[in-house]
Structure 1
Amino acid sequence: MSSTALRRISVATLTAALVVGVTAGCSREDASTGAKAKSTASGGKVRIGLVQVNQQAIFFNQMNAGAEAAAKKTGADLTVFNANDDAVQQTQAVQNFVQQGYDAVIVEAIDVNGIKPALRAAAKAGVKVIAVDGIIDDPAVDVQVGVDNAAAGKQMGAFVNAYDSAHHVTAKIGVVGALNSYIQNLRKDSFAAAVKAKGATVVQTVDGKNTQEGAATAAENLLTAQKGMNTVYATGEPSLLGTVAAVKSAGAQNRVKVFGWDLTKQAIDGIDAGFVAGVVQQDPKTEGTKAVEAAVSLVGGKTVTKKIDVPVTIVTEKNVDPYRSIFK
């Protein structure tokens, strides 16, 4: 990647690299003082560690692509860490990045509360901290980049209300969530409040555990248990993928309308088939770009707004075409 170094690493690799990072002689001052010092391990470049959730979901890979492009443009040295859905590995990665003298860490947190001690230690050591997507409410975070998930869940609730009104339907809604995900619970709760306020009923919530296989099983059980259900709301990419698969497997395309988060080819196929009515599409590439730009600016001593909002789009049959080339 031209002059900008990009690495994708696992926790074992990062831990092993710690010895190299320390013996390379970073010029960061004593971490206990909290003083900021620029790392020289990458020839004077800003060194940024991106702590990612996984590298299976399209969403996270698009975020990585945006971050990589921004690092190349700004001349920063970016390392992407893959936690493989393990919150403990994320904490260890932050700690290791700090010990190796990185200038900034960007975190897409699995556990937004559990990661806080590591981020506080990073901030004390003079490392700039950027939270992306998942909201981490803590003074250690210099900048929060991403979607207002509660507001977007409410926006999707209003969309479902308008859809039902236009089609003269009273919604009986099943939710396929990820109850271990803070941000997906925000999407679930704000959506439910919005639809209930207009007379809809949430008949059942099932836990897809933030995996496609788990969501497919949960959605199948939901479809079997709730014969009168006419709407399903999926709170994330794995939940929506699993729901689409379950609806097709059960032959329920004419029985329910599906609404959810994060486009995939399968979701677009569902839109074309008519049973997926609306999908909240985030802009993860822009989130990655903005996070790296914020990190570089902060390390350079510039002022950056505390919150950088990235808006969402609700994709329907009317505006899906521009996304087809992305999700082939």
Structure 2
Amino acid sequence: MARMNRTIVAATGAAALVLAGCSTGNGGDDKAGSGGSGSGECVIGMTQINQTAAFFTQMNEGAEEAAKKAGCELTIANANNDPAKQNSDIENFVTQQVTGLIVVAIDVNGVLPAVKAAKQAGVRVVAIDAELEKGAADTFVGVDNDAAGAEAGTWVVDNGLAKGKYGVVDARNSFIQNQREDSFRKVIDAAGATHAQSVNGDNVQEKAATAAQNLVTAEPDLDFVYTTGEPATVGAVAALDPAGTTKIIGWDLTAEVIAGIDSGLVTAVVQQDPRQEGVEAVDELKAVIGGAEPKGFIDVPITIVTKDNVDDFRSIFE
């Protein structure tokens, strides 16, 4: 996947910066962009959870490429896993008179006051990955996480893997990862699997690796570990022994996870298309700002990746 050059634009408080052309931000803790609120002007602020997970950086790349193609100004603010900062970033974008807002929410409830204030100010809103309450955003782009968790559980049952004992590395601060866990467990528990315990990785790779190690130390006879997001999956890959009997079934590919599939440690991974989510979000905002009726929901389907189809994804992570 081609990497785009990005212009990092720093902003403090509610200072407004005017960007020329299609400018983007990436990686810093404080970035904001602005533009006028004139009719049809596509000036987008995107609040991102973090800039370390490959899932989010791919999403950013898709949004950047779509913005360039559409002639929109785009700036990405990195919340760095801090819900308070995410709210502040949204408030800054509103002050800077963006016409569109992309929200990748850390806390779908905590972000609502800032999002609602943005909508009241006339900003059009698209949510990616984590769906906000009805009416908070014009459109949600992503997967149905509850349904996808159940789909992953059905795959486990259909492949005869729901007869054993399992644990979970989750992120309790993530609403969507809670959905993925609950729906997955409902399906496989009903099929006879035994849940040992769930441990919290806080959506941070290092914490998830420690949590996974603690899990398999406490429960050495697990047949598999279910991981609910990229940090948990990468952390579990780092913590577990490929030669051991405990396997991983989880979410989100990375180069490390693909290596885990190759070694036999990882059995299956639910793969989203974060780049396409970024593209769809910008395209939707461009259309809505131009007067189109919001689509409400844009589904970006998942793929369950195993050793049989992993080659289709290798080039993305090279």
Is the TM value for this pair above 0.5? Answer: yes
Please give the residue correspondences for 1:245-324 in structure 2 after superposition, counting only pairs within 5 Å: 245-248=238-241, 253-324=243-314
Distance in structure 1 (CA, Å) of the matches to 2:118 and 2:39: 22
Residue 209 of structure 1: how far off its partner (Å): 1.2
Please give the residue correspondences for 1:191-210 in structure 2 after superposition, counting only pairs within 5 Å: 191-210=184-203
Task: Give the letter for the 2:11 counterpart.
Answer: L
What does residue 205 of structure 2 align with? Answer: 212
Deviations 1:70-97 (CA, angstroms, capped at 9, x unpaired):
1011100001111111111111111111
Deviations 1:153-193 (CA, angstroms, capped at 9, x unpaired):
1011111112225xxx7220110001111111000100000
Task: Give the letter for the 1:285 counterpart.
Answer: R
What does residue 124 of structure 1 align with? Answer: 120
What does residue 14 of structure 1 align with? Answer: 11
Tell whether the 8 Å contact from 2:163 to 2:191 is kept in structure 1 after alignment.
Answer: no
Task: Tell whether 2:224 aligns with 1:231.
Answer: yes
Deviations 1:99-137 (CA, angstroms, capped at 9, x unpaired):
111101000000110110111111111100111101111
Higher-Rg member (1/2): 1
Tell whether the 8 Å contact from 1:116 to 1:138 is kept in structure 2 after alignment.
Answer: no
Task: Give the letter for the 1:68 counterpart.
Answer: E
Tell whether the 8 Å contact from 2:36 to 2:98 is kept in structure 1 after alignment.
Answer: no
Of 43-52 and 306-315, deviating more is: 43-52
Task: Tell whether 2:69 aligns with 1:73.
Answer: yes
What is the root-mean-square deviation in Å for CA atoms of aligned residues?
A: 2.0
Task: Give the letter for the 2:170 counterpart.
Answer: G
Residue 44 of structure 1: how far off its partner (Å): 7.3
Tell whether the 8 Å contact from 2:41 to 2:99 is kept in structure 1 after alignment.
Answer: no
Task: Give the letter for the 2:52 counterpart.
Answer: Q
Distance in structure 2 (CA, Å) of the matches to 1:43 and 1:300: 8
Distance in structure 1 (CA, Å) of the matches to 2:8 and 2:109: 25
What are structure 2's unaligned runs of at least 5 residues? 19-33
Tell whether the 8 Å contact from 1:164 to 1:171 is kept in structure 2 after alignment.
Answer: no
Judged with a 3 Å threshold, the aligned counterparts in structure 2 of structure 1 residues 6 and 95 are, in CA distance, closer, same or farther, namely farther
Residue 296 of structure 1: how far off its partner (Å): 0.7
Task: Give the letter for the 1:227 counterpart.
Answer: P
Distance in structure 2 (CA, Å) of the matches to 1:315 and 1:20: 43
Residue 322 of structure 1: how far off its partner (Å): 1.6
Distance in structure 2 (CA, Å) of the matches to 1:127 and 1:44: 12
Match of 2:129 among 133, 137, 148: 133
Tell whether the 8 Å contact from 1:53 to 1:82 is kept in structure 2 after alignment.
Answer: yes
Distance in structure 2 (CA, Å) of the matches to 1:92 and 1:156: 36
Match of 1:171 among 164, 168, 172: 164
Task: Tell whether 2:94 aligns with 1:94.
Answer: no
Tell whether the 8 Å contact from 1:146 to 1:309 is kept in structure 2 after alignment.
Answer: yes
Tell whether the 8 Å contact from 1:8 to 1:81 is kept in structure 2 after alignment.
Answer: no
Q: TM-score, normalised by structure 2?
A: 0.89
SS of match in other structure, 1:170? coil
Task: Tell whether 2:145 aligns with 1:152.
Answer: no
What does residue 58 of structure 2 align with? Answer: 62
SS of match in other structure, 2:234? helix
Judged with a 3 Å threshold, the aligned counterparts in structure 2 of structure 1 residues 104 and 43 are, in CA distance, closer, same or farther, namely closer
What does residue 180 of structure 1 align with? Answer: 173
Distance in structure 1 (CA, Å) of the matches to 2:243 and 2:225: 11
Distance in structure 2 (CA, Å) of the matches to 1:51 and 1:304: 20
